[in-house]
Each structure stands twice: as structure tokens, then as C-alpha cells.
Structure 1
Amino acid sequence: MLFFINVILSLWVSFAGGKVKGCDLPQIKHGYLYETTFFRPSFPAAIGKAYYYYCNDNFVTPAQQRGDYMKCTKQGWSPAVPCLRRCYFHSVENGHSLRAKYTYLEHETVDVECNPGYSLPNELTNITCTEQDWSPPPRCIGVVKGCDLPQIKHGYLYETTFFRPSFPAAIGKAYYYYCNDNFVTPAQQRGDYMKCTKQGWSPAVPCLRRCYFHSVENGHSLRAKYTYLEHETVDVVCNPGYSLPNEHTKITCTEQDWSPPPRCIRVKSCDMPIFENARPKSNGTRFKLNDELDYECREGYETSDGNTTGVIVCRDDGWSNPPTCRDPKEKCGRPPAVDNGDLTSFPLKEYAPGMSVEYQCQAYYVLRGDTHVTCRNGQWSQPPKCLEACVISEDIMNEHNVELKLINAKNRYFKTDENIEFRCRNGYNPKTPESSFETKCQEGAVTYPSCA
């Protein structure tokens, strides 16, 4: 009788005020209701009603029990996922896990450490308990083949018959090596271990240059130490009137030793030049290398390019050009001669201002600059240059055991900037880098590769 009173009250509560009707018969994935004829006809279940259920093998309730109550709520059955997978952890094939327990619930993870040379799929570091069991499975698989015999620049392996046959080396394998004189390991020792990793040998640069700092010629350094490792630098202070090359303020330890060398050289300078029909725009008397000096022409005079002002630069061999201003009405004499080049017209003894002449180069010579020069202020504008060609000689090629790649002639001319390709003669192998076998003619000079 009490049962029917509860049902009537539940139905009254459900319909009063438009409340939800309750919960339909639950569909329990990987489980089932504790079935009795007592409650099977009572669906939809009223809000607040609870029923006992069981989970299948390898599945448990959220409280990790075989069975528990599930309750009808306004949002539906609770728990929403009544049965969760229980995964059993035994061991990891080709690996292990620290602080692992025996059972895990769905969605829990286990950190895995694989043996050297092995890894979980896709380089994962943990496995997860899923509805279908462990994903990925607790099994480490073999990865990359390892590392080939290392080529140690400026060093060598400590060779014994124990490990020489073991290449490619497995991931995680380490070998002892030594560095040559004036080179050390990254830890600045004569020798150390290098290890095979997934990315290759570590350290990638086993031997680094060690530079010794003694003193600076014509200068000094503050707080300098005695030894430096490759890529380290030393700040240098030069004596007055001296400087490191290209006005550097520090020297760097490189693979070849100090660059630039710890030596301050005398700084070249230029005195105030003598001006012709012009005056300087500076009151200085002495100028350093690469200093610029502006000047202006006197009234009625112009520079060779038709301006009333100009600039000259202090170079290694003095001022870049004479600061000369001329009368624009002045005529020019014969055009300047160009090595390996000629005028395209017959030369005159005298040219009026504004007149031009054209140059051309001899065969295989490359013209660089303006082909025309013009008479201005009694001076010719800058003439072009005819860049020298290269002659490839059979004798020189024989000395280097090479030949031309496309043709094989005793002599051949190549213009400046023209590509030249070589190859080794039959029976010989490259001695110089492959890049040296394709070069260019550089104003009559060419660098030959070598084969041995």
C-alpha cells in the first residue's frame, strides 16, 4: 500500500507546476540494473529515485566498486557514466615506470621511461587508461637506427676493439674521445664522452679552439684572462694613434685562433690637401682613415661633374681624388687611354666642353663603367675599365689533376664573371670541396680545384 502512495505522490509532483516527467529506463554502457519485478514497471522514474546497478568485468563505478546506486535528477541519471574502465598495470616492455600503481581508472595516465633506443609511438611519454584499455599499449618500440661512426673535427675517438664494430651506435650509447692540441671539449677538458641521441651525436661540436691571450701589441686589455674558448671575445684598448684593423674594438677566439690578431696597427691619416680654385669647409689639419672632407669651388668654377661643391675621402693611399675646381669653359685634350680598350671614333686633339667619346673593349674583355666620357671644366669624366679575361691552361689543370667539365681544350678564354666548371680527371678524386669545382673568372684570376 505504501508503494502505491509513493507512486501517486511522485506523479502529482511531476505534473504539478509543469515539472519534468522523470527519467526513462537507463542504458548502462558496460553494466546493467539489478533487475527485479519490484521496480521494472516504475519508469519513467521520479526525480530523486535511485536504483542499484552493476558493472561488467574490467569496469567499475566512479567509486571503483563493482556496483552502486544511480539516481534520477533533473539533469538525468547520475552518474552520467556509471561504469568506467579499470586498467591493470603490470610492466612496460623495453621500459619502466617510476611510482606506478597496480590499477588505474579510465582517463588516468602513467608516465613511462623507455630504454635507450626505444620509445612509445609518436614519442609519447605516458600511456592513458581508456574505455578500450591502455592507449598506447605499455610497450616501447625501437626507434631510429642510431648514430654512424662520428667524424670529429680536430679530435678522435679513443679506439679500442671493444666498440669499433658497434656502429651504428644505439641511442644513449656514449664513447670517449680526445681533442687535438689547442682544442678542448665544451667542458674545456682534453677528453670527454660523446653520446648518441635522437638528434645525433652530442655535443654536435666536440672540439672547440682554445686561444691563449698574452698581450696586445701597441695596446692592452682590461680584466683579460689567460685562456678563451672558441667564440669568446676580448675587449681591446689601443694606444693613441693605433687601432685594430677596420676599427674593431675586440678580438674573437675562432677555429683558426684570434681574429683579428691581438695587434694594434698605426692608424693612417691625411693632411689638409692643397685646393685649386676651391676652399675646404673644415678647420681641421689632420684627418683619420675614411674621414670625409667637404669643399666648395670659388665663384665661377665647378667640379668635374658640374657641381659647385664636392667631397673627398681619406684612404690608405691618401685622398680619394684631388679637390680641383675648373673653369667650365675650359676645353679638354685627348681622351684618357683605357687598358685593353679603344675609342669607337678617331681621337681629336681638342674637345669642347660637353663633347663625349665612346669606348669599347677588346675581345673577351668586359667593360665596366660608363661607355661614354664627357668633357667638363677642362677634364674628362671617369673612363670605364676593361676587365681582363681568364685563360685556362692545360698545364695548370694537369698540375691539379682536373679538366674542364664541358670541353677539353688546351686553352680557353673566359670573360670576367663567367662561370667555369671543372671535374676530376679519370682515376682521381676531389681533394678540395665540391663547391670549388664551380668558380668564376675574376678579372683575369681563377682559382683551380684539386684532385688526388
Structure 2
Amino acid sequence: MHVLTKSCILLLWMHTLTFVKSQDNPGACTLEDFKKYHLYDGNFDISGMQASYPGGRQVRVGCNVGYSGFFKLICVEGKWQHRGTNCQPRSCGHPGDAQFADFQLRKGDDFVFGSEVVYTCHKGFQMVSRTNFRRCMAEGWDGVIPVCEAQQCPSINVPDTVNVMGDAEEATYGNVVQFSCKSSNHILKGAREIYCDENGDWKGLEDGNPKCEAVKCEAPVIENGLILGDVKEYTEHEILNYECNPQYKRVQELPSRCTKVGVKAEWIPRPECEEIKCELTLPPLRGTTYEPAYRNRFSPGETIRVTCGERYWIVETRTLSVETTCQKNGEWAVRPVCQEVTCSRPEDGLLSYWEVSWRWESKKLGDTVRYTCRSGYKRKDGVTQATCTRDGWEPNPLCQEIKCRRKHFNNADIIGKIQAEYRYNDRVQYNCKRGYKGSFTLICREDGWYGSNECKAITGCPTTNLATNLKHLPHGDKLYFTCEDGYKFLTKGWWGEATCVDGVWSGVESCIEEQKCGDVPVIPNGEGILGSTEGQSQEMIYITCNPLYSAKIEEITCRDGRWDLNGSFDDICKPNQTCSPPPKVENAVITTPYRKQYPSGFEVTYQCRDKYTIEGNATIKCTAEKWEEINIQCILYCEKLMDESQTMDFTAEKEKYITGETIEYQCKNKAGNIGTATCQHGNWAKTTECEEKCRVPETPAGLTITTDVTDDQIRKGQHLTFACEASNHIIKGNATLECLENERWSNPLPRCEAAKDCRRPPPPLSHGRAKPGTRYPYRHNDKVEYVCDTDYGMEGGPFKTCVDGDWVGEMRCHIAHGCGRPPHLSDGDTKSRPKYQYQHNDKVEYICQQYYVMEGGPFKTCKDGEWTGEIRCLRPCTVNRDDMNRHNIQFKHRRDDKLYSEHNDVIGFECKRGYTHDGAVGMRQKCEHGVIHLPTCQ
């Protein structure tokens, strides 16, 4: 309290003193005046200033710590004046950059005293320094530049079955780690790819740590379908057995297999059921229209009408409209597609020339083709072209055999055999009758007999029988002749001479009109056929060259009595460039017929023997007299091992295995033995047999085994059949034994005993009789055949057999019934118009529609009111171009370029450019019962 009192008195005294002094010195300047000065701020250090200064006094004012500057005060007439600058904050310079971090001013506007900067680490990095800021002090920046380090994620432990791509143990922010399975038979579960985030945590582990498991598929839920069995989980390649509900069918007929697809296990194809519908292509294929035309799906029982265009047909070539019904299996009773009327090259051995550019070319309705017949045959009614009609090629037949009716002469007789008709080039020789002299020969040609009656009366040598277009002048035994105006000789020259020999003029030539050319000249390596243009009489030669030769021109016209030819007849048929037979490939054959020479551009295709698969391009081409380089091998393979006895568990991944390849299996029996099967030259060799077997017993004398046994053991479930060696013995006991479990037989071994004869003849048959040739007594197994009377049919029979003393065999004869109209054949019809009533034993022949192949038949027979005979038309395959595009394939050869293929046809495919094929389905596929499996290229 005493100290406080003294301090207050001291302050009061100092204030009084200052006031007194200022009153004493009116020109003085005070500290208080400086504080009110317009430039004053808190940055000045006024701790050393006095309370007042006299006029004229100069005072230097310093700056506080952290500030710098120069400021001088001058007291002039009681007011302060200044020199110099204000106090400015002292600069610390740049605070320094930190690696992997940014900074910003948290206090102040520049790097000067009192400011403060704060450092922030980049994304994915963390601050490891104690402080994250720096302050600008009087001596500079305090502290040190902060340090940032990358965030590190914890290490990941994965099983040995998992491949790790990346650093899973010391990963930092931004690092990516990928996982996959080491085995192709496993599938990855959990995370497939993870990355280290900015917080040092792994992103992507939401599905769990990666692990590899065997490929498995869960039993799916199939709408409108039912899975057979109670299997909840399936392994890779296992097939899902399921069926669709009534009125539904599988979307795809291929079996659904548990398949590894990328990183998932899926059912391929997807097991789905769809409502059974018959489908139509909308818009319809060319030449086809439907009624109704606004729908493309129909339920079983619904009917549509298919109408074909003018140049199309359905069912058979003369049918343009048909009604077809959707059947329960989703197929149309009649395939609702009209086919264009076409005519393929006729397989007619009587043709010598057929005007088409290549062998498989077809012609359309109304198209014409020029043709010629081989020697001895001619075109019907002088036609020069064949026309494609709905009934095939017209005329039908195209070629008729050339025949000449026997020619009768009053003055001559035939020498040798006399016939009513003669064939082409037959020569008939005549001798002149008494009173005439000479002989002559007629030759049967295309236009009839060639030659004339040359019998002359012995009394003289008349000229009245010479041709009217011949001028003649007899002179003794000579006759000079020339042609009338407008005619000429076939040979050169304009006149000729004939001699009278035995009353006949010898050497007389024939004349033809001057504008005609006459006989066909010789054409080396070919043949010329004489004809005329349609509707005119102008002569023409149609050229046909021999095989391996090509014609420079196809026809030559007669103009003004000369053949219009620029050049020689020797140059018309020129040889092609050819190749010798193609090289041999071991275990392969060529699918085209053998020939000595092959023209340039000809292709041959190799096909391996059974059990061999082809490697390389199967087709080579003849180019410039050489075959393309061959790179083909036929490699022996084994087909996929099939467990027909269902005694093994194994996985066969491929359809074909090369010699030396091995698969492992386990027996399903109690022992559960494990074995291997190795492909050896086309056959599987197994190390362990899984089937239970029974040893074949030894048979006593007189008893034999009729079953084909190749080993001394047979499998469980198989049978042995016994018979007696002697025909007059009969087996006693069970003739068939079955192999049961534990190597047991189902029955004891049978025995043979002598059979009894039949002492009396077989009983008679009402309205029937036994065939002759019977005997008495009858031995065991002797047979007697019976037949019924006319108009009677037999039930049972037709034999009665003597069996151990008794007659065995029941039959009876009854009045045979006729049959009504023959039954309908799906995708076919009868060849002739059906009748309303048929008699017993009448037959009807059937035919299938185009592209369909008949199995059985072709006849059905009326047997006692019932039509007998099994016939069916095997469906063709439809190769849809949209499906081919989806499979990335195309036809390999032009001759395969057909949308419809008959049953058992084989079509070759190839991948489109840029795609490859590596699947179980081969690139050559067979059409079987309307189904063809398309390969897929990736």
C-alpha cells in the first residue's frame, strides 16, 4: 500500500512538471503532438522519446522490432515536421517449397514480419513434421520446411493359387494391383483389381480378398422350365439337364454347359424356355407372300396361306399356293417358303455340248440353253435350244436316238439281216433284182437315209434318173455334166465326167445351191455340228472342242456360199493350260474324280480318312500349269472319350485328341480307382477298367454261345445267349444269362436235349393251303409255309414250325379289305394323282419336295385295309446369312454358296477377314435332319 501511494505521487508530479514547462516554452513540440501526427502508427518505437522538445530540436525516431525505416522529426514553431520514411515490416523472403506439398498465407499479405504460411500435403501424402506452418520473425522464418511422405497401404496376403500383378506389400498412393488365377481351370472370386487411395486404404476390396476356386455354376431358375435332378452346384463342362413346361420349348437346342467366360462361370448357351411358336420371315423372302401378312409368330393349330410369285413354287413345281398349319413342335406342316423355279444342268449322258459357264450354274424359268447331242442322237423336232419350264427342261427328252425306217425298193433287195428300224450310221446294202444291174448302200443319217437307188435296167444306160439340177451330155460310154445356173458342185471345179459301168453312170457328182456351203469341214481337236438359225434357213456350224481344249469361236455362219471364218479351221480349238494330277497326301483322298489333266483355275479339295484330322488349307488350285504349294497333313486323332457304361468320372475338354494326349478319370465303383486314358493311334488305351465283369463260363459239349464275345469277360448288364449245336436238339433252361453285381450270373447254365419229331402233318387252313414240298415225318425246326386264296389276307403266319413234337404258329385267312386314299407324307407327295379306292396289294409311289432326302420307301402298299411301308422326308438345313454374320463366317467355296442343303450335305465355312477359329465345332459341317451347327470365329 505504501509503494502504490508513492508511485501515484510521482506520476502526478511529472505531469505537473510537463504542463508547467510547456507553459514556460510556448514554441515547444510534445510527444503527444507526435502521437497525433498524421503519419504516426504503432510501428514506431517511442519508448526513448521525451515528453517535450524545444523549437528547432531534431529527434530521430526508431522502429519497433521486425520493422525498418528512417524517420526524423523537427520541431518548428511548436509543430512537428518530418524527414525520411515510415516504418515498414521487415521481409523474410520466400518461405521455401516443400516436396509433395503446397503452402498459403494464413496471416498477412506478403512474406514480411508477422505473416504466417501453412503447408498442405498433396493428395495421397501425409505430414510427418511436428508443425505444418512457418512464421516470419525478426530474424527470418522460424522452424524448418515441413516434410510430406506418400500414404502407404497395408500389405495384402493372397493364396498361392492367385497371380499378383503389382506390389501388394509396399504399395503407395496410386499403385494398382491386379489378380488372376494361375490355373485356367479356376475362376477368380473377390477383387480383380484394387488401388491404394489417398488415405492409405485399398479400394476395390468390397467383394473380399481375391481367391481362386474351381469353375462352378449354380442351378439357375428357368422360367417355364424345370431342372431335372437335385443338383445345386455344377462343375465346369457339366451339362444342365432341364426340360420345358408343356407348350414351351428350348430357345436353343444345344446343351447348356457350365463354362468359364472371362472371369465368370456361366451357362452357355443360356438355358431358356420360350413358348412354342411357328415363325415367319418378315418381310417375306422374295417371291413369297403370306395371309395374314401382319404377323410373324403363330401358335400351334393356327393356319396361314402361302402364295408364290409367278416364277416360284411350293411343295411341287406346279403348286403356287398352299395352306400350312403350325404344329405342336413349332414347325410348319409345309415349309412356308416359295422357291424359284430353276433348272440345273441335266445329268444326261446323251448330251455332247451344254452352253453354261460352269458346272453348277442353274437357269431360271424361261431361260434357254443351246445344246447338241452326241453322235447317234438328235435334238427333238429340230430345236436348237432347251427351255427351263416348271416341269424341267423342254423338250423332254432333250435327245432322241436317230433311227431310220426300213426303205423298200421295187428293183432291189436287202443283203443280210432285215430290220424294221436301223440306228444311226447303220449301213444297209442292196443288190439289184433280175433285169437290173448294180448294187448300192444306204447310210442312216440324222435327216434319214443317205444315198440313192442306183439300179439300172440292163437294156441301156438312161439319164432320166439324174438330178434335175444337173446338165448332162452323153457321148458314147462317157457322160459330161455340169450344174444348172444357181447351183455348184460340192467339190471344186465347174464340170465333171462319168463313165458307164455295167449300165450305171459312175462318177456323177451332186449339186447344191450356190448360196449354200455344204458339208462341215474337219475341225482338229473338235467337232462341228451343222444346223441353222432359229426361224431361218441359213446354215450354221456349232463348235464343240474336245476336253482340255477351248474354242476361239462358238459358231460359224455360211455367207454367200462360203464359211465366214477369219483364219484356218486348224486354229479353232486350242489346248488349255493344264496341270498334271495333284500331289498325294498321306491318309487323304481328293473329293473330285480323277483325271489325267486339270485345266487352269481348277480346284481340288483333300479330305482325310476317318480318325484323321486335317491340318492346313485343304484346297489347292491349278495356276499357270502348276498346283499351288501344298501344306496339308492328316493327323491321327481320337474322338472325345465317351463313358457309355457310365462307370467313370472324367472331364474331356476337347472333341479331338492327338496321339499321346492323356486324360485322367476315377472309377465310380466302390474301389474308386484312378486311371488314365491315352490316345494311341486313334484308340483310347485305359490303365484301369472301372466296369464290373463276369467271367464267361465254359460250355459243355453240344452247347454253344451265340453272343459275339471277344474276351473271357463281359460287363455288368450284358447278356450271354446259348444255343444247341445240333439242329435236332432243344435248349432246356434259360437260354440267356445276364451279368449281375459281384460277378454273378442271373440263371444256371442251360443244357441241350434231343427234340421230338412231329408225327402228324400240320392242321389245314380255311381259305388257304400249304405250299407243296412238305414231307412226313417232320423233324424239329421243320417249317411249312401257308398262302391264302385270292382276295384273302393272312393274319399271323405264314409258317407253322415243328418244335419238340408240336406245331407252333397261329394264322388265319380272311377276306382282304381295300384301302382309301394313301396317307399324307410330310414334306412330300405321291408321284401320281391319288385314287379314292385301292385294292389289296396295290402300291403307291411317293416323292419328296426339293432339297428333302427320302428315307425308306419309295412305295407304300395296301395290305388288308392298311397302308404299309415306312417313308419319311429328311429336312434340309437352312443356312441363314444373318446367323453367319453373327458367327463371323462365310462360305469357303462358291459351290457351297447355297442357303438350303440336303440331309448329309457337307458345307465348308471359313472365317471372315480379321477373325480366327479355335472351337470344338469344325469348319466343315454336315446337315443332319435339318440341323447344321455353325462354327464361330473370334
Shorter-normalised TM range: 0.3 to 0.5
TM-score, normalised to structure 1, is 0.34
Structure number having the greater strand percentage:
2
